[in-house]
Structure 1
Amino acid sequence: MNPIEGHLPIRSPLHDILAPAGIAVIGASNDPTKRGYKAMVGLIKDGYRGDIFPVNPKADMVLGVKAWPSVTAIPGNPELALICTPAASVPGLVAECGRRGIKGAIILASGFAEVGSDGAALEREMMAKAEAHGVRIIGPNTSGVFNLHHRVNLLALDNVKPGDVGIISQSGNMLLALALEAQHNGQVGFSTYVGPGNQSDIGFDDYLRYLGEDENTRVATLYVEGFRDGRKFLEVARDVTAMKPVVVYKSGSTEEGQKAASSHTGALAGSYAMTVDLLRQAGVSVVQYSDEILPVAEGLGLLQKARGKRVAVISDGGGQATIASDRLAEAGLELAALSESTRQRLRDVLFPQASTVNPVDVAGSTDANPSLLATCMEIVAEDDNVDSVFLVGMFGGYSIRFAESLMGDEMRGAEAMVDLARSTTKPLVIYSLYTPIKPPALRRLHEAGLPVYASIEQSVRVLAALGERGQYLAQNQRQVRETALAPKPELSGLFQRAQAEGRDLFEHEARQLLREHGIDVPMERVARSEPELEAVAGEFGDVPLAMKVVSKDILHKSDAGGVKLGLVGEQALQRARADILDSCRIYDPDAVIEGMLVTPMARKGVEVIVGVVRDPIFGPVLMFGLGGVFVEILEDVAFRSIPLSRHDAASMVEQIKAKKILAGVRGEPAVDKEALIDLLLTVSRIVEAYPQLSELDLNPVIVHADGYAVVDARVIVERDTQHTLQYKESVA
């Protein structure tokens, strides 16, 4: 059965391109320095079973294979063309490929959009030819492709074994590094590799979809510098991660230009942290360091998932047990609380001085019989409190460290671990300080499909990925889509008026938008003159009030002196109005001031921020974190792609470092988290209902033990000239 049948209804066209029955090598060469030579060598050496058509007008034979003078002269119908010629020749050759019925072309040449306007024009010409003739493009500026199970090796890489790790990498050197690491590891093999290059046609989402469908790929692994369509990638990732693991290493950060956005949320969006949060929301396992890519891919490919994050550590050395415990805690994992019956069973087989409190320290019990480590692993694996088992120490090296006669015990221990791995659903992860020299017992484990690592840190990252994936899959099965909001005509009219007037929503309009959709917003009044202010004062009485300027020209009110707090009585309001007018005229003499917004002061609580941006790569994104004026400095925030599930909203609240403050500190009560989660969900639904909403900032929102108060609301409107023209015509 298709691995993700029912999730991606249309089969990816990349199957025909990446597993072709025939390949045309355009620019095939007998010169060993040319890519056309290397591609021919890779196909011939790996025993490609399809037809090879070298294209070279100056050669009759290339590496013993008959050559053809042009693409149109090729007999038969190859499905793939590898174009190894200079950039200027590519558009014409793509058109020839299309006329010949070739479905896909790999463009190796650089010199396209990555070099400037002239290259961008050439890339557009190439794509016009491709679209006109129905040719799909990999690249340009790609490092190449291999599909080892079909013996398509267009990179001519040596000693790369077929396996189940699929790789898409924007760096050819990163592929080479992973290939060399796999060669040293000896057990990891690859299915498909593609260098996406400029992604002028086929992007990361297309490649991930293919790997999701590919029966030879058990785990998809991506090195990403930049997404072309991040929102589409997230959609595909949600489908693929439901069926198989996806590992991403995201390098770099976004351009500083995005930091100049007009709101707090806009200033923080587009960051590396945002990208990581959105990928994890879609079930992707994100690794932080490049040396984690292959270990995590291997571990997820072999073990798939853990039920949760509770780990039992078994160690033959106290120091390494302590290190493992530290790294597990840092990774958000837990030391499982072993049951009393489990501890008693451990005491029955270990020396009296052994510690049976997790982490379990065998304290010399295994020096004369290392197979006891397998017995301990079996005991803790049967504990319902344990989700995964982590063996830490020198297993595999007892016969080296102590006596050769222990080799038999170690091999028996290895076989027992293999049997345990086959009988339990709980992952078994092994760290041994002897891993680099590959003793027989460790080779046996690895050959049987148990991951063995030479680093505690890498082992813990694998355990973390297994736990995260297990929890994601369990939660994903319970996800319930929130009911969509229907936009209200009068609120849509607010956006249309703002667009027509070239402004954002005034704060009282933003509050109306929130209030009409069920968000708890304190009452406000807008006074446009002194007489109106007198009426407002009478309405509120002796309640302490806040006053803010209402002006389309003053976005950050505090910076302009446009906010006054703690005002009681009409005289205080009149003085505050005069002060605000003076300050705002100094700040911007040309600012048009509509009036003053007056609202009751919020009572004491915890300040948080809720924000939204429409990211150019990922679409609408919601942000939550500690609020107030320091949000951009502390950057203690969480991001999720809209729409949100209830689990997404709850996980945002739990993710931030300041969650302890929300739980109550120094005698303060815990905040109403359920009300906060409801707020995040409603904001998400509002954004879906009103596409004219470009950015939203609720900062601060003051959260209490029994609800919250939105103190400041800012809605930035999409500048849609077509909407503006339509609105002006409708009111004319």
Structure 2
Amino acid sequence: MSPARSPLHDILAPQSIAIVGASADPTKRGYKAMVGLIKDGYKGAIYPINPKADMVLGVKTLPSIEALPGPVDLALICTPAASVPGLLAECGRKGVKGAVILASGFKETGPEGARLEQQVLEAARAGGVRVIGPNTSGMFNLHHKVNLLALANVKAGDIGFISQSGNMLLALVLEAEHNGHVGFSTYVGPGNQTDVGFNDYLRYLGEDDNTKVATLYVEGFRDGQRFLQVARETTAKKPVVVYKSGSTEAGRKAAASHTGALAGSYAMTVDLLRQAGVSVVQHSDEILPVAEGLGLMQSARGKRVAVISDGGGQATIASDRLAEAGLVLAELSEATRRRLGTILFPQASLVNPVDVAGSTDANPALLAECMAIVADDDNVDAVFLVGMFGGYGIRFAEDLLGGEMRGAESMIELGRRCGKPLVIYSLYEAVKPAPLRRLHEAGLPVYSSIEHAVRVLSALGERGLYLQSRERQAAVPEVVADAAMLAMFARAENEGRDLYEYEAKALLRAHGIAVADEVVVRDPSELADAAQRFGDQALAMKVVSRDILHKSDAGGVKLNLRGASALREAYEQIMDACRRYDPKADIRGVLLTPMARKGTEVIVGVVRDPIFGPVLMFGLGGIFVEVLEDVAFRAIPLSRHDAQSMVAQIRGRKILEGARGELPVDQAALVELLLRISGIVAAYPQLSELDLNPVIAYHDGYAVVDARIIINPAVL
């Protein structure tokens, strides 16, 4: 059975609208909304509500919501904040399905506003009314002629936009007007998200036939877990573009682990969005170009790009930007180079980037032939035309315009048949010559910025690879909770503490994770037996205490110990140092384990983020996590592709691959470790936070050297 359709369809594409606070004053929103509906030719019923006026813009008013002749789909409430709870109660009694609340003065203003907002929510739920806002800029649905913002010169199109900034909408509307070919389907300002949140809007845009690409400007998520779930469902059908401003502090906490300290960051949010297939843009001026490009071309097979250029300098710039974006210059086949050689001057460069070197000065249509040749190459995922196409008739001679128009038609036909994205940068785009207008009209985007064009190519490649990874995913076996481990969690909870290090390692060991041999020494009389057990191995000794989280800071760690006498001396030093550090600390002995052999330090951690739920972190250890924060995040549960992409994402991944003669680490083993940790977290909701730091990665496996697990008493 297919899931039920989102209830927002009736609200965002309403057949009837009540304007509560309709006004004859041109400065009021109740007037502007009426103007927008009437001028755009809205076909549904309009009910202006104003007890002090008989008519507004020629439409008969009603004195109250109660006077409505029957249920309506949407009420636009333009009245002050204090009136809203009562008006929503009236909406509920009349069967109004949804309300857009423009007023501010709610939780964004402080405790009193928060109480008023709670009353709004209670009134809405009691009456079955879905609420957009409050504190929203409004909404429009241009295909249904619902323009409650009364914006002029906004073209109906296929970009759905949800924005927490009204000014961001205006910026995109003006940019689209200059572009001349981009249009919008639906816009909503979510405001305070008291009821309807980003996940609800995304679900609607995913279902909306008039929307090809869902685009969001986000300052903060209310329910990140649900949003990621909806994003995964939506990105399987159509592109989703997100610009996330700032960084959230909601997930940060004074945690006892590196993972907790790094969680909640902007970088974490971006990683989790990309994990769900979302195209994240870093700069606000990329929003519309990327949305347009994805809407028109959807995806590329991969990240191999062929560049065709009529200028060496811009070919070099394009190559630099492609490399910075993680794209690669496709290696053209010998057959492709031979075909190019038959139509270009001998001085042309036939390797990628292809520089036509003047071959097209008298025949600009030749650029389309070059594009067709490289598009036929199986090594090419996308074609990037860079230079002055569209401006030959301006720069050289007017009689070249015909050749450019023929070239444009050839490019359009190529785009229809080759199945690969064709992206065009022209330095003449700003003056919009006829050949470029023709390309744009036919659905081939032309950009005035190499950087924007490259960002589009990157988004297309990322989306294509994401869709392929979805198709290839095999199920990852679930971890089943162990009864002894559950009892261990219960004991720790009863004692009001987190897991000791040896208990954390026992949990890992119980589920197949490689942990070094160790022994807990609770009394110095046990040291001789411990020394005999490990023989001549160099040992590490660490204090066991519920109260000392940072053992090294307290002097609770001694390394490279051999023999019983060295163990006794280290034991005494640790006890003395830890008692000075915290005289009240509950010390339960020491943990002895062999020193790990030399390898590459990595860190694996987990937090339960208040917005996104359980999140796993992976990165290089040591200075890389302490200073550079070279880490990757994924929401749990992980797929195998997620785990593999985490390892590949690290900026210092060349260290894992074996830098300066070192053996490469066993990346497959690290992937299995990440998957097992993901399974453990899913199986044990009692686990609140986990830090494996360091894990020593070897060419033939790994070893967990230190482990910390903080429990979540709420589920015990």
TM-based fold match above 0.5: yes
Query: 2:553 matched to 1:559?
Result: yes
The equivalent residue for 2:79 is: 85
The equivalent residue for 2:456 is: 462
The equivalent residue for 1:730 is: none
- Classify the secondary structure of the residue corresponding to 1:597: strand
How far off its partner does 1:281 sit? 0.4
Aligned partners of 2:659, 2:565: CA distance in 1, in Å?
38
Query: 2:62 matched to 1:68?
Result: yes
How far off its partner does 1:363 sit? 0.4
The equivalent residue for 1:485 is: 479
Count of aligned positions: 716
Query: 2:341 matched to 1:347?
Result: yes
How far off its partner does 1:667 sit? 1.5
Q: Which runs of 5+ in 2 are unaligned?
A: none
Q: In the alignment, which of 138, 141, 153 is matched to residue 144 of structure 1?
A: 138
Letter in 1 for 2:257: S
1:46-125 superposed matches below 5 A: 46-125=40-119
How far off its partner does 1:630 sit? 4.9
How far off its partner does 1:443 sit? 0.2
- Classify the secondary structure of the residue corresponding to 1:666: helix
Aligned partners of 2:59, 2:280: CA distance in 1, in Å?
44
1:92-241 superposed matches below 5 A: 92-241=86-235
The equivalent residue for 2:690 is: 696
The equivalent residue for 2:616 is: 622
How far off its partner does 1:261 sit? 2.1
1:327-346 superposed matches below 5 A: 327-346=321-340
How far off its partner does 1:66 sit? 0.5
1:289-688 superposed matches below 5 A: 289-628=283-622, 630-688=624-682
8 Å Cα contact 1:162-1:190 kept in structure 2: yes
- Classify the secondary structure of the residue corresponding to 2:558: strand
* Bigger Cα displacement from structure 2, 217-226 vs 70-79: 70-79
Aligned partners of 1:125, 1:465: CA distance in 2, in Å?
43
Alignment deviations for residues 682-705 of structure 1 (CA, whole Å, 9 cap, x no partner): 000000000010110000000001
Aligned partners of 1:697, 1:643: CA distance in 2, in Å?
17
Aligned partners of 2:508, 2:342: CA distance in 1, in Å?
64
Aligned partners of 1:157, 1:587: CA distance in 2, in Å?
66
The equivalent residue for 1:14 is: 8
Aligned partners of 1:467, 1:327: CA distance in 2, in Å?
15
Alignment deviations for residues 304-350 of structure 1 (CA, whole Å, 9 cap, x no partner): 00001000000000000000000000000000000111111111001
How far off its partner does 1:257 sit? 7.7
- Classify the secondary structure of the residue corresponding to 1:232: helix
Aligned partners of 2:495, 2:55: CA distance in 1, in Å?
70
8 Å Cα contact 1:225-1:252 kept in structure 2: yes
Aligned partners of 2:508, 2:360: CA distance in 1, in Å?
65
- Classify the secondary structure of the residue corresponding to 2:36: helix
State, as a whole percentage, how many aligned pairs show the same letter: 74
How far off its partner does 1:256 sit? 7.8
Aligned partners of 2:682, 2:17: CA distance in 1, in Å?
46
The equivalent residue for 1:3 is: none
The equivalent residue for 1:709 is: 703
Aligned partners of 2:498, 2:374: CA distance in 1, in Å?
60
The equivalent residue for 1:261 is: 255
* Bigger Cα displacement from structure 2, 403-412 vs 481-490: 481-490
Aligned partners of 1:34, 1:533: CA distance in 2, in Å?
82
Aligned partners of 2:54, 2:157: CA distance in 1, in Å?
36
- Classify the secondary structure of the residue corresponding to 2:627: helix
Aligned partners of 2:627, 2:536: CA distance in 1, in Å?
36
Aligned partners of 1:533, 1:96: CA distance in 2, in Å?
78
How far off its partner does 1:399 sit? 0.4
* 1:612–1:163 distance in 2 versus 1, CA, 3 Å: same
- Classify the secondary structure of the residue corresponding to 1:258: coil
Alignment deviations for residues 108-140 of structure 1 (CA, whole Å, 9 cap, x no partner): 001111111101100111111111110000000
Aligned partners of 2:51, 2:462: CA distance in 1, in Å?
55
Moved over 4 A (4+): none
Aligned partners of 1:318, 1:407: CA distance in 2, in Å?
23
Q: TM-score, normalised by structure 1?
A: 0.97
Q: Which runs of 5+ in 1 are unaligned?
A: 1-5, 724-732
1:30-45 superposed matches below 5 A: 30-45=24-39
The equivalent residue for 2:237 is: 243
Aligned partners of 2:47, 2:99: CA distance in 1, in Å?
14
Aligned partners of 1:306, 1:532: CA distance in 2, in Å?
64
8 Å Cα contact 1:259-1:268 kept in structure 2: no
How far off its partner does 1:495 sit? 1.3
Aligned partners of 1:585, 1:254: CA distance in 2, in Å?
38
Alignment deviations for residues 85-106 of structure 1 (CA, whole Å, 9 cap, x no partner): 0000000000000100000000
8 Å Cα contact 1:267-1:632 kept in structure 2: no
Aligned partners of 1:572, 1:634: CA distance in 2, in Å?
37
8 Å Cα contact 2:624-2:630 kept in structure 1: no
Aligned partners of 2:693, 2:622: CA distance in 1, in Å?
6
Letter in 1 for 2:707: A
How far off its partner does 1:492 sit? 1.0
Aligned partners of 1:96, 1:553: CA distance in 2, in Å?
57
How far off its partner does 1:484 sit? 1.4
How far off its partner does 1:402 sit? 0.4
Alignment deviations for residues 230-259 of structure 1 (CA, whole Å, 9 cap, x no partner): 010000000100010000000011128815
Aligned partners of 2:250, 2:10: CA distance in 1, in Å?
40
How far off its partner does 1:481 sit? 2.5
8 Å Cα contact 2:251-2:610 kept in structure 1: no
Q: TM-score, normalised by structure 2?
A: 0.99
- Classify the secondary structure of the residue corresponding to 2:342: helix
Aligned partners of 2:526, 2:39: CA distance in 1, in Å?
87
Letter in 1 for 2:700: D
Alignment deviations for residues 30-87 of structure 1 (CA, whole Å, 9 cap, x no partner): 0011111111111111111000000001001011100011000111321100000000
Alignment deviations for residues 508-551 of structure 1 (CA, whole Å, 9 cap, x no partner): 00000000000010111111111122221121111100000000
8 Å Cα contact 1:145-1:153 kept in structure 2: yes
- Classify the secondary structure of the residue corresponding to 1:702: strand
8 Å Cα contact 1:268-1:632 kept in structure 2: no
8 Å Cα contact 2:251-2:611 kept in structure 1: no
* 1:697–1:325 distance in 2 versus 1, CA, 3 Å: same
How far off its partner does 1:494 sit? 1.4
Q: In the alignment, which of 259, 271, 288 is matched to residue 277 of structure 1?
A: 271
How far off its partner does 1:498 sit? 1.5
* Bigger Cα displacement from structure 2, 70-79 vs 90-99: 70-79
Aligned partners of 2:458, 2:422: CA distance in 1, in Å?
13
- Classify the secondary structure of the residue corresponding to 1:482: coil
